[in-house]
Structure 1
Amino acid sequence: MESVASAIRTALLTADPRAKCFTTRSVARRWRKGDLAWRFDVEMPDTPAWPERPELLPPNRMPKRGKFGSERARIALWHSLAHIEFVAIDLALDMAGRFGAQMGEEFVGDFLSVAADEAMHFALLARKLESMGSFYGALPAHAGLWEAAYSTRHDVAARLAVVPMVLEARGLDVTPATLERVQAAGDAGGAKILARILDDEITHVGFGTKHFLRCAERIGTNPESLWQTLVKQHFRGAIKPPFNDSARLAAGLSREFYAEIAH
């Protein structure tokens, strides 16, 4: 029987976006069915396989989207969202494969379910782009999204603090405003996609918070203080309002974590 680590590594090293989605959802399904052995007999790659396009640029070289009302700006928005979800597939896979042996079966199951959700989100967004006459890879994309994973590859608490509890939590803050803009533009299909993503991201942040609290309990430290220390060490950006406090709280991420270090 193939090991869960081997199956995850295969998905991480699948470059084609459609194939990565298919492989990721297959790994999650096989795990749920008990068709993967509890073995961590291979290492995770430092960098996943990605397609040749989109061209990956530093944040300061990314072109401006322009006003939302133009077709070009709308395509740029959906392309940006698709790229975020594509990288999120690998973030969740790497979480399960890199730290699963240390954290246990529930942890692996949680983050494989996250990976499957992200693959579904990407597929929805890729189809959305195609319906607009574009495709994923047509525009350049942000190169820095994997940076948080690489910099925390040796510390599961740091990875949990930065990826689900900062990066994904930021999605809880900004998605409602994007959803309102899309609704105001009369795009009911796009609004439905964003509403589904928002609901799922609350669950994802909740998984990250749950396992972070267990890390803090295991080492006998205050979780809020530990989180603040790790974020200051490993996250280059700013924790800044406005915050979607209700969605964050639904995910278990109370203001006690982030209010003190917010800018």
Structure 2
Amino acid sequence: MDIKTVPPAGGDGQDCLRGLALAALAATAWRDKLAGVRAITDAAALDCGRTFTPPPGLPGRPPLPELVAPSQVPQRSMATQEGRAALLHALAHIEFNAVNLALDIMWRFAGMPEAFYRDWLRVAREEAHHFDLLRRRLEALGHAYGDFPAHNGLWEMAERTQDDLLARLALVPRTLEARGLDASPMIRNKLAGAADKESAAIVDIILADEIGHVAIGNFWYKRLCGQAGKDPVACYAELARRHGAPRLRGPFNLEARRAAGFDDAELAALQEG
């Protein structure tokens, strides 16, 4: 991947952590995107106040998988290898989107403390690792990323919140990605019940890391709420209404959500619906 082809305003960005994130986000092939994430080293200069001019067509993505409405993604039986591959493909697509989301928040929102961007760099690296684990497992099952249709719900919410960091934090890591904390135990048990121990072990790795990712979203959301004098629970409800966030339904993984930084008031509001 030639990251020079995605020049941010004010320079080519090759020495800038956030410019490198934008370059990786623009990469279309998954191999190039993972290479772009690896290229963002801890030694890269970090200008927290720099603004960038993005290229058209973000995020970069391969021509496959075909993107369809969520209702058009077929359900398949876990009793078949094809069905397990379809489930792993759906998880891989979520992780691919999660890589893009972490890269996007790094370049898009200027003026945050250095720790903010380094937190999301850690997330991008771990999401890339998750995607690669799932991609390799798909390959072992005779499939590749792109073989099954997928939906684009995660990125659609990123587009709705592209001008509002508080909304982005509230509705992507704390809402859509936190749903993975609730779903992972059931998915893991389905795979284990189908005697697919290798795939179940990958889901265990992802859940452990995702608790940390949601915790990062919680930390920065609550910090911004505190700076603005907003109550986190009331602010969340207002942002969810404004941006059309999906209504969350149980069962909820309360243990994982607590570990990710949701407090009792937030969990009570979640359960009240």
> What TM-score do the two structures reach when normalised by structure 1?
0.93
1:26 shift after superposition: 2.2
In structure 1, the residue matched to 2:85 is 75
1:6 and 1:42 in contact (8 A); partners too: yes
In structure 2, the residue matched to 1:8 is 21
Deviation sequence 1:12-64 (CA, Å, 0-9, x none): 1101112201211321xx1x22x22416242345721100111111223222x
1:92 and 1:114 in contact (8 A); partners too: yes
1:245 and 1:254 in contact (8 A); partners too: no
Task: Provide the C-alpha distance between the structure 1 equivalents of 2:156 and 2:80, rounded to a whole number of angstroms.
Answer: 31
1:261 shift after superposition: 5.3
Task: Provide the C-alpha distance between the structure 2 equivalents of 1:62 and 1:86, rounded to a whole number of angstroms.
Answer: 17
* Amino-acid identity (%): 39
Q: Could you list the runs of 5+ residues in structure 1 that have no partner in the other structure?
A: none
In structure 2, the residue matched to 1:53 is 64
Give the aligned residue type for 2:98: A
In structure 1, the residue matched to 2:120 is 111
2:154 and 2:176 in contact (8 A); partners too: no
Deviation sequence 1:180-210 (CA, Å, 0-9, x none): 1212222221121111100000000000000
The equivalent position to 1:84 in structure 2, one of 82, 89, 94, is 94
Deviation sequence 1:119-160 (CA, Å, 0-9, x none): 000000000000000000011111332111000011111000
1:25 and 1:115 in contact (8 A); partners too: no
Question: What is the number of residues matched between the two proteins?
Answer: 257
1:12 and 1:49 in contact (8 A); partners too: yes
The 5-angstrom pairing of residues 123-138 of structure 1 reads 123-138=132-147
In structure 2, the residue matched to 1:139 is 148
Task: Provide the C-alpha distance between the structure 2 equivalents of 1:223 and 1:121, rounded to a whole number of angstroms.
Answer: 30
Task: Provide the C-alpha distance between the structure 1 equivalents of 2:104 and 2:180, rounded to a whole number of angstroms.
Answer: 20
1:25 and 1:119 in contact (8 A); partners too: no
Q: Could you list the runs of 5+ residues in structure 2 that have no partner in the other structure?
A: 1-13
The equivalent position to 2:180 in structure 1, one of 159, 171, 179, is 171
* Alpha-carbon RMSD: 1.6
> What TM-score do the two structures reach when normalised by structure 2?
0.89
| CA 89–202 in structure 1, closer or farther in 2 if over 3 Å, else same | same
In structure 1, the residue matched to 2:158 is 149
1:43 and 1:98 in contact (8 A); partners too: no
Structure of greater relative contact order (alpha carbons < 8 Å, 6+ residues apart)? 1
Give the aligned residue type for 2:168: R
